[in-house]
């Protein structure tokens, strides 16, 4: 805290949860364009949930310097948005009588492995999203959402621990003020 009471913040581009959220947003946009009929209200809802997941990670990261509470809230909103989107994909499969892949199926394991690399991006998924049938693409997106949700759950736990350990902005401001007061008047 030598540089003041506002810690370094931002850097969302390096968060794995953000990288997954970008894949989810781009994949959802492509899914809606390929498989849903123009005018279907579900398109806007799915795209907005995907966007909200991504954007709230960005906003939470930017807010982290001045408000851990806001960072936690926005990260939670990202998690909620992706859970909503997950349910949309599950509904898509259910309404068409298509199965959702089980966690340990060879298909799910392939997608999990594809997304496991820290450098994975939409480009890794695009060939499958552009060429596979709707049920396969929905399952791919479900797998990626599960990965993002897992990462967001871990991120929220870390944010909680950091808040308990370091406190919020008001506590850091008070510590900085007391430190400065003691520096000027050590008695």
Q: Where are the domains of the chain?
A: 12-178
* pLDDT attached to residue 67: 76
Identify the CA nearest to 151 among candidates 28, 23, 18: 18
Per-residue pLDDT reduced to its tens digit, 161-183:
877 777 665 666 666 666 777 77
- Whether pTM > 0.75 for this model: the answer is yes
Whether residue 2 is predicted with pLDDT greater than 50 in this model: the reply is no
Average pLDDT, the chain: 89
Higher pLDDT, 70 or 23: 23
Give the C-alpha distances (Å, rounded to integers) separating 51 from 117, 129, 163, 167. 23, 18, 27, 30
* pLDDT attached to residue 162: 79
């Amino acid at each position: 805290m030598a540089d003041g009471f506002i810690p370094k913040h931002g850097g969302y581009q390096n968060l794995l949860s953000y990288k997954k959220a970008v894949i989810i947003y781009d994949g959802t946009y492509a899914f809606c364009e390929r498989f849903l009929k123009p005018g279907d209200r579900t398109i806007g809802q799915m795209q907005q949930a995907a966007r909200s997941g991504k954007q709230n990670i960005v906003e939470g990261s930017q807010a982290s310097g001045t408000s851990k509470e806001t960072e936690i809230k926005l990260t939670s909103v990202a998690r909620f948005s992706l859970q909503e989107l997950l349910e949309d994909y599950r509904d898509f499969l259910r309404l068409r009588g298509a199965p959702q892949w089980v966690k340990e199926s060879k298909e799910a394991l392939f997608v999990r492995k594809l997304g496991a690399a820290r450098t994975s991006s939409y480009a890794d998924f695009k060939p499958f999203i552009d060429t596979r049938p709707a049920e396969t693409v929905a399952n791919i997106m479900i797998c990626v959402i599960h990965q993002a949700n897992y990462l967001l759950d871990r991120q929220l736990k870390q944010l909680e621990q950091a808040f308990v350990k370091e406190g919020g902005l008001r506590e850091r401001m008070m510590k900085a003020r007391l430190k400065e007061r003691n520096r000027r008047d050590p008695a």
